[in-house]
Amino acid sequence: MEAYVNVRRMGLRVLLAVCDAELLGTILRDGKIIFEVRRDFYDGLKMSVEEAVDLMEQCTIVNMVGRNIVEKAVERGLIHQDAILDISGVPHAQIVKL
């Protein structure tokens, strides 16, 4: 299982955008929700899901989309199941460390 990761540094904050590899460039639609897995936001290094989740621990803000990446983040205790938004059967979650 692979994911695309894009790391952006903004002062003291580090933003990680990560998506399951097969979702890059897709559009998810669920009622009024239209969620674009945009290349300009998510595209970066391609790595294993495990490596991507390791990066999450070093970041202050994480935006993740995809079954593989979100499930691994839950397994590692980085997010709670109740914090996951389902968009057309695809999980999306965010982490913000203050």
Nearest 5°: the CA angle 34, 93, 21 is 75
So what's the pLDDT on residue 5?
98
So what's the pLDDT on residue 3?
98
So what's the pLDDT on residue 82?
96
pTM of the complete model: 0.93
Indicate the class that CATH gives domain 2-96. alpha beta
Residue identified by tokens 């970066």 is: 44
Residue identified by tokens 């990680």 is: 16
Q: Split the chain (98 residues) into runs of 10 and give each run's mean pLDDT.
A: 96 96 97 95 97 95 98 96 96 94
Q: What gap in Å lies between CA 79 and CA 39, rounded to an integer?
A: 24
So what's the pLDDT on residue 98?
81
Q: Residue ranges of the alpha helices (H) in 1-78?
A: 39-42, 49-56, 67-75
Q: What gap in Å lies between CA 42 and CA 3, rounded to an integer?
A: 9
